[in-house]
Amino acid sequence: MELFQPQSLTDQYLADLDDLDESDEGEAPGGQAGEGGDTMEEDEDKEFDEDEAGGADAGKDLAQLTRLYGSEKLEKHLAGMRSSLAGPDPLPNTPEYHSDYALVCASNDMMGELENETVALTKYIRDTYAPRFPELEALIQNPLDYVRTVHRIGNEADITAVDLGGILPSATIMVVTVTATTTSGKPLSEGVLEKVMKACSSVFEIEDHRTSILEFVETRMNILAPNLSVIVGPKVAALMMAMAGGGGG
């Protein structure tokens, strides 16, 4: 008599993907037929250049650091997600199902692109803001917390007057405040500070977009990867699919 062998998380995940591939065979997801070549070409043109981002400085145009953020491609994708969420959950093997499957796969790619752009903008902010407070980077290791702190401090000379609560723990706030009293940094010019603030705002918007995309993928996990969702929950399943780079393997 054969004993039942419990499946691992990997087996469950692969089973979900196999089911998706079988239901998708011979059909173009979400009306994407005939556009694959153009899409690949566009993705190659928009491929993020990390080496280029590493050379960011105060004179660099912020538009050069982002390709997806602010693009028509991203706006269309976000609109597609909103439209999908406004309707009922799609049934398997329907045009709506295939459309959602295509949206999830594209979402995973976009989350990676947006993360790269966040890295580039954060590097720009670090390099450009360093003359103002060179010690700050070593005091705050989390990149997003660093950007939030820079946005809050700006050119403020008296950091004790800046409310950093909700961004940093009290111990770190104390260290930052004390270090600021002996910093060798100098105020930034109005033009440079404006660029830094704009870059900070872009990072915040990108993070909002990434959160929205991840939440969308999470809502579709019970439909597109039911086995995995039952075991680890839709939130973890969405993160696993994102790390795997989509469901189109």
∠ at Cα 174 (170, 175), nearest 5°?
120
Q: Which residues of 82-112 are buried (b: 16+ CB within 10 A; e: fewer)?
A: eebeeeeebeeeeeebbbbbbbbbbbbbbbb
List all residues 6 or more positions away from 241 whose beta carbon is below 8 Å from its beta carbon: 104, 108, 217, 221, 225, 247
The pTM (predicted TM-score) of the whole model is: 0.69
Length, in residues, of the chain: 249
Note whether 107 and 81 are within 8 A (CB): yes
pLDDT in single tens digits along all 249 residues of the chain: 444 444 454 455 445 545 555 555 544 444 444 444 454 444 444 444 444 444 444 446 788 899 999 999 999 999 999 999 898 888 878 888 888 888 888 888 898 899 999 999 999 999 999 999 999 999 999 999 999 999 999 999 999 999 999 999 999 999 999 999 999 999 999 999 999 999 999 999 999 999 999 888 888 776 666 666 556 565 565 566 555 554 444
The whole-angstrom distance between residue 21's C-alpha and the CA centroid of its chain comes to: 26
